[in-house]
C-alpha cells in the first residue's frame, strides 16, 4: 500500500488564495493512473500556511475523491497539535498519517520516541515518520528509527537526510517489513538499490509516468533502464528545487495547464529567469 511512486501533492489556490478543490480533482485525474499512493497536506502541500480547518478539509477531500491510498500529513512540533491533526485525518478517512519530526524545539532521541509513542496510542491508522533535517534542524538517527520501528503502528519512514550511509543503516537495523521511502527525488534510485521501497516525490506531480517507469524498471530487474530514466529525470529534479519547494513545482503545474496558483506568503511566485529555465526542462521532457 505504501510503496512505489507517491506524489506529495501541491495544494492549488484560487486567485484569492482559497483552496481550489476543483483543482485538486483535476490534478488527481492527471496523476492517479501512474502513482501508487498520495500525500496531501505535507510540505509540498503548504501545510505550514493552511489553517487547521483547511488542512483537514484538504485531506478529507482527497480521501473522498482519490482512488489510491492516502497518507495524510499531520505533523507538528507540538505533540498536542500533532495528536489533534492525527485524530482528524483518521476521521477524514486517511489510510495512514505522516508526521514530520518536531522542528525548532529540537527534542532529543528520548523526546522523539515519546512523541511518536504518544501519537501511536491515540490513533489506529499506520504512522510514517518524516525525517528532513534541512527543514527541522534535527536528525532522526538510525538507532532512534530502530526503536521507533518496535512500535507496532510505526510502519515506515520518509527519509530525506540526504545521507545514504544513514539510509543503509536504517534498512539494516529495522525489520524487513519496515518501509523506507526516499524523501528526495534524486535519491530514489540509489535508495531503491539499497533496499528502499519507493519515494514520496515532488517530481511525481509533474512527471508521474516517467517516475513510475523508472520504479517498474527497477522492480523488474532492468537496472540499466532504471538508471537511464534516472539520468533523464535529473534536470527535472534540479529544476524543481531551483527555489524553495513548492515554488517551482507550482509554476511547473501552471505551465502544464494543471492546477496550482501562487504559493501563500511568505513564499512568492517563481521569478521570470527561473521560470524560463523550468520551462526549458519541461519542454525537453515533452511535458509542455
Across 44-51, average pLDDT: 97
% pLDDT > 90, the chain: 100
Across 110-115, average pLDDT: 97
For residue 160, what pLDDT band results from cuts at 50, 70 and 90?
Answer: very high
66-82: per-residue pLDDT in tens? 999 999 999 999 999 99
Q: Report the alpha-carbon distance of residue 236 to residue 247 in Å, rounded.
A: 14
> What does pLDDT average to over the chain?
98
Who contacts 243 (Cβ-Cβ below 8 Å, separation ≥6)? 270, 271, 274
Query: Cell triple for residue 212?
Result: 513510475
Across 111-137, average pLDDT: 97
Indicate whether 225 pLDDT > 80: yes
**pLDDT at res. 64:** 98
The pTM score is 0.97
Using an 8 Å Cβ cutoff, are 255 and 279 in contact?
Answer: yes
Across 89-105, average pLDDT: 97
For residue 270, what pLDDT band results from cuts at 50, 70 and 90?
Answer: very high
| Residue from 30, 60, 68, 158 carrying the catalytic annotation | 158
Note if 146 is an active site residue.
no
Indicate whether 9 pLDDT > 90: yes
**pLDDT at res. 110:** 97
| Residue from 30, 60, 116, 130 carrying the catalytic annotation | 130
Indicate whether 251 pLDDT > 90: yes
Indicate whether 101 pLDDT > 90: yes
Across 22-47, average pLDDT: 98
Indicate whether 24 pLDDT > 90: yes
Note if 215 is an active site residue.
no
**pLDDT at res. 25:** 98
**pLDDT at res. 41:** 98
% pLDDT > 70, the chain: 100
**pLDDT at res. 271:** 98
Across 1-12, average pLDDT: 96
For residue 1, what pLDDT band results from cuts at 50, 70 and 90?
Answer: confident
Across 161-167, average pLDDT: 97
The domain limits of the chain are 4-222
Give the chain as a DSSP string. Answer: ---EEEEB----B-TTS-B-HHHHHHHHHHHGGG-S-BB-SSTTTTGGGS-HHHHHHHHHHHHHH-SS-BEEE---SSHHHHHHHHHHHHHHT-SEEEEEPPPSS---HHHHHHHHHHHHHH--S-EEEEE-HHHHS----HHHHHHHTTSTTEEEEEE-S--HHHHHHHHHHS-TT-EEEESSGGGHHHHHHHT--EEEESGGGT-HHHHHHHHHHHHTT-HHHHHHHHHHHHHHHHHTTSSSTTHHHHHHHHHTT-S--PPPTTS-PPPHHHHHHHHHHHHHTT--
Q: Which fold does the domain 4-222 belong to in CATH? A: TIM Barrel (3.20.20)
For residue 6, what pLDDT band results from cuts at 50, 70 and 90?
Answer: very high
Amino acid at each position: 500500500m505504501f510503496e512505489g511512486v507517491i506524489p506529495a501533492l501541491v495544494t492549488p489556490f484560487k486567485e484569492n488564495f482559497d483552496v481550489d478543490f476543483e483543482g485538486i480533482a483535476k490534478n488527481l485525474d492527471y496523476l492517479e493512473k501512474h502513482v501508487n499512493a498520495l500525500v496531501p497536506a505535507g510540505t509540498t502541500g503548504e501545510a505550514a500556511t493552511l489553517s487547521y480547518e483547511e488542512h483537514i478539509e484538504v485531506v478529507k477531500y482527497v480521501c473522498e475523491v482519490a482512488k489510491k491510498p492516502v497518507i495524510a500529513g499531520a505533523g507538528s512540533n507540538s505533540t498536542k497539535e500533532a495528536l489533534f491533526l492525527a485524530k482528524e485525518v483518521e476521521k477524514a478517512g486517511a489510510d495512514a498519517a505522516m508526521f514530520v519530526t518536531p522542528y525548532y524545539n529540537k527534542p532529543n532521541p528520548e523526546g522523539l520516541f515519546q512523541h511518536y509513542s504518544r501519537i501511536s496510542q491515540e490513533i489506529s491508522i499506520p504512522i510514517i515518520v518524516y525525517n528532513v533535517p534541512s527543514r527541522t534542524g534535527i536528525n532522526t538517527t538510525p538507532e532512534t528509527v530502530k526503536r521507533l520501528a518496535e512500535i507496532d503502528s510505526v510502519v515506515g519512514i520518509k527519509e530525506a537526510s540526504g545521507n545514504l550511509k544513514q539510509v543503509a543503516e536504517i534498512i539494516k537495523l529495522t525489520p524487513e517489513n519496515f518501509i523506507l521511502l526516499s524523501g528526495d527525488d534524486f535519491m530514489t534510485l540509489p535508495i531503491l538499490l539499497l533496499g528502499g521501497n519507493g519515494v514520496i516525490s515532488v517530481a511525481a506531480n509533474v512527471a508521474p509516468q516517467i517516475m513510475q517507469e523508472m520504479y517498474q524498471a527497477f522492480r523488474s530487474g532492468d537496472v540499466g533502464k532504471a538508471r537511464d530514466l534516472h539520468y533523464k529525470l535529473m534536470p527535472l529534479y534540479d529544476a524543481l528545487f531551483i527555489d524553495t519547494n513548492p515554488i517551482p513545482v507550482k509554476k511547473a503545474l501552471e505551465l502544464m495547464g494543471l492546477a496550482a496558483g501562487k504559493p501563500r506568503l511568505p513564499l512568492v511566485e517563481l521569478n521570470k529567469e527561473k521560470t524560463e529555465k523550468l520551462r526549458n526542462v519541461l519542454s525537453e521532457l515533452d511535458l509542455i
